[in-house]
Amino acid sequence: MPKLRGEAFWRETLRSAHYVVAPMVDQSELAWRLLSRRHGAQLCYTPMLHAQVFLRDANYRRENLYDEACPEDRPLIVQFCANDPEVFVQAALLAQDYCDAIDLNLGCPQMIAKRGHYGAFLQEEWDLLQRMILLANEKLSVPITCKIRVFREIDKTVKYAQMLEKAGCQLLTVHGRTKEQKGPLAGVASWEHIQAVRKAVSIPVFANGNIQCLSDVEECIRKTGVHGVMSAEGNLHNPALFEGRNPLVWEMAEEYLEIVQKYPCPLSYVRAHLFKLWHHTLQVYQQLREELAKVKTLEGIVDVNRELKLRCQEEIANQKEGEKPKEGLPFFHWICQPYIRPGPKERCKENGANEKGARGKRALEEEEDGNAELLSKNKQKKKLRNPNKSFDPSLKPKYAKCDQCGNPKGNKCVFNMCRGCCKKSAFKATADCPGHGLLFKTKYEKSLSWQSSQRVIQNPEVSRRGDVDVGETAVLKETGASAV
């Protein structure tokens, strides 16, 4: 059967999905996907998987996809981050039988993506992206899709989308923010960019950004003309978002915990979900917030959830008539509702500051030019220890690179390599590298010397031969050579 493409793929394989749960690292696992599907989600993505790790590690494949195969969990798109066409395609070939499409992540803006050279940090490398998508489109039995962030310029964003479509992308998700818009600097996503892309391509388009409730979904579809809308944070704070309702938090939490007991996942995932669901309530009951952070078992998390429920029910029972939600919330804190991410100034007020001016929570990651207004907590501590310390990347010392892999080389390495490459080379050549403390030659010579001494002890006649040195004789015997 030929592979479906474009509109036909969206209509038949994805069942004309309008409501989509985003790929979220450690947060869109099977249990959460099943909860979301029960409450209106029509299509889900796996968490972002690392293609190279997926390819080489059978345990990683089993834990993140193979063991999670579930008939209820379809349609499903598996998302990979990658920067090598062959690695991406080989990983996708191992995953294609467990999903309906493979997605290439071109939207992750985090520092880990910058260090690993994937996600949104590939958006300028159009030749590489064309090769990756062309190869995937040729080799895979399922369609290839992409999730991108926009450029500041609408025209460049449109050309970017058209290039991906031409290479073989069958569905495009457009997050209406640039890669610089993240964390407290996220701001508002541009639906104008998304609308321009939708008009410029013939493949289906999903929109991502500014989705807090069902009315946002409907407005986004109306304004941009997209085929569907993807939600990440909105879904995490209210799994019933696509149903258009705001349930009691403990209803969603209890239902999720029941699913986790049937489809287990790491405890860190469960804890993170409850922090999101109970976000507003945990601002009120700080002690329970600490207990949730420390608990070591699923049973312990269930107990904390039960205690939160009891506290809220008691608060409801003592509620005065006509009382309104506090802190400017649209609903009382025990009801699932949007979380509006604060900007930098609001974040400072929310977290407070200590006497030395260091904030209580992690702040902004430093901007690429090194001129950020705020530093992370760790960098603030380093600054206190050394007031002259600079975090400007341009002022960092430049290290000589290893001749083999490009990592920093050892300053005194005789091979001009990093320690890992030096170790391999020194072992192969039976050589020493004092700079890295590698003494393969010395140890080998000592071993030969010890062997010769043992032979002398076992065969005293050898020591009476005056024409050849004892050690030399042993070495010659070892190598099969004859003395001259």
- Could you give the residue numbers annotated as active site? 108
Our separate counts of H helices and E strands in the chain read 21, 11
| Residue 335 CB neighbour total at 10 angstroms | 18
| Spatial CB neighbours of 139, under 8 Å, sequence gap ≥ 6 | 89, 92, 93
Burial of 283 (0-12, 13-18, 19+ CB in 10 A): middle
CA distances (Å), 36 to each of 18, 39, 73, 164, 456, in order? Answer: 14, 5, 10, 30, 78
Provide the residue type at 18 as one letter: H
CB 268 within 8 A of CB 26: yes
Distance CA 155, CA 197 (A): 9
**Angle, to 10 degrees, between the axis of helix 286-294 and the axis of helix 298-317?**
170
Query: Contacts by 222-228 with C-beta closer than 8 Å and gap 24+?
Result: 223/191, 223/195, 224/191, 224/194, 224/195, 224/198, 225/195, 225/198, 225/199, 226/194, 226/198, 227/10, 227/16, 227/18, 228/10, 228/17, 228/18, 228/19, 228/20, 228/42, 228/43, 228/204
Bond into 247 cis (ω within 30):
no
Query: Whats the size of the chain, residue-wise?
Result: 484
CB 330 within 8 A of CB 351: no
Give the end-to-end CA distance of the chain in Å, rounded to a whole number.
77
CB 465 within 8 A of CB 483: no
Q: Which stretches does DSSP call E strand in 22-84?
A: 43-45, 49-50, 76-81
**Angle, to 10 degrees, between the axis of helix 249-262 and the axis of helix 267-277?**
170
